[in-house]
Amino acid sequence: MTWGSVWFILVITVVVDALRAFFVGLVFTGPVLIGLLAASYASSSAWLSWVPSSVITAITAGGLGTLEALQPQIAAGVEGFGILMAMVIGLAGLGIVVFMLKKRGVNLAGKNSLRIILAAVGAETPIADALPSLTPLTFLILRDQIKADKKKVAAHKAEQVALRAQVANQQMLEHQQQVLQLQAAEVAQAEQEIQAAEKERVTEEAVAEENEEAVIKQAPPPRPPRGPLVGVPSLMPNAANNDRTIPERVQQVA
């Protein structure tokens, strides 16, 4: 609720208070009103249009005021009628204002109910109902309601900001968890690849060892070293024939 949406309620209360004040002082305001009406009629009349309106108003109002002064019964009757009309207008205006406030969701409990009671007492108390009680009390009710609505709007905005921040934090946490899960999956896959490569290497080494053992088993046994031939003297030089020449060695062999 803002002042722009409830300004016409204050206009209604001002009109109601003005009418109440008018009718409470009807003894004085009545002759003036009748004088204004008479001046308006005279200005539109062909045979009285030459008379100034102020003169007609003054004559009419003065004459009625004099009549009320000379006849107290007439003044009392006019005064009583004015007070009665002021009470009726005050009560009707208060009902209209309460209805409009209720329709716009104004909380009328608590201190606002006390303000409405004070407005009703002021509207129904003779002579005192000339005071403009409805307008200030309605202003206080609207002011408190606008303040309360502003606080609610501010609290709602703060709640929305906190909710957005919470959602953003939740999304960030979920993103971090997804990143961590993806990294964990990549690490696990890398470990599996390393284990598979290591297993393949071990398998290849075992196969190589088995092939080497099979080749060793299939190879022929090594031949024993041959000794010197019996009956064939060695032609290799030795300590006994180092000093002999080759012909002598051949003769020795023969």
Domain assignment present for 66? yes
Contact 133, 118 (CB under 8 A): yes
Q: Determine the pLDDT at residue 235.
A: 47
Domain assignment present for 139? yes
pTM over 0.75: no
Q: Give how many domains the chain has, as a whole number.
A: 1
Please give the radius of gyration of the chain, using alpha carbons only, rounded to the nearest integer.
Answer: 63
User: What span, in angstroms and rounded, lies between the C-alpha atoms of 200 and 95?
Assistant: 96
Domain assignment present for 166? no
First CA to last CA across the chain, in angstroms? Answer: 145
User: What span, in angstroms and rounded, lies between the C-alpha atoms of 134 and 95?
Assistant: 11
User: What span, in angstroms and rounded, lies between the C-alpha atoms of 95 and 116?
Assistant: 10
Domain assignment present for 8? yes
Q: Determine the pLDDT at residue 13.
A: 93
Q: Determine the pLDDT at residue 46.
A: 55
Token pair 């000339």 in the structure block, residue? 130
Alpha-helical (H) ranges within 71-133 are: 72-103, 111-124
Low pLDDT (below 50) residues in the chain: 229-230, 232, 234-235, 239-243, 250, 253-254
Domain assignment present for 9? yes
Domain assignment present for 108? yes
User: What span, in angstroms and rounded, lies between the C-alpha atoms of 9 and 93?
Assistant: 10
Q: Determine the pLDDT at residue 10.
A: 92
Where in the sequence is the domain holding 114, given as residue range(s)?
A: 3-151
User: How far, in Å, are 211, 214, 215, 218, 219 from residue 222 at the CA level?
Assistant: 20, 16, 14, 12, 9
Q: Determine the pLDDT at residue 148.
A: 87
Q: Determine the pLDDT at residue 221.
A: 63
User: How far, in Å, are 56, 60, 87, 164 from residue 29 at the CA level?
Assistant: 16, 12, 17, 63
How confident is the model over 214-230, as pLDDT tens digits?
777 776 666 666 555 44
**128: its two tokens:** 């005192």
Domain assignment present for 69? yes
Q: How many CA atoms lie within 13 A of 189 on its CB side?
A: 6
Count of beta carbons in the 10 Å neighbourhood of residue 238: 9
User: What span, in angstroms and rounded, lies between the C-alpha atoms of 154 and 135?
Assistant: 28
Domain assignment present for 180? no
Q: Determine the pLDDT at residue 71.
A: 66
Q: Determine the pLDDT at residue 80.
A: 80
User: What span, in angstroms and rounded, lies between the C-alpha atoms of 21 and 18?
Assistant: 5
CA dihedral 212, 214, 216, 219 (to 10 degrees): -130
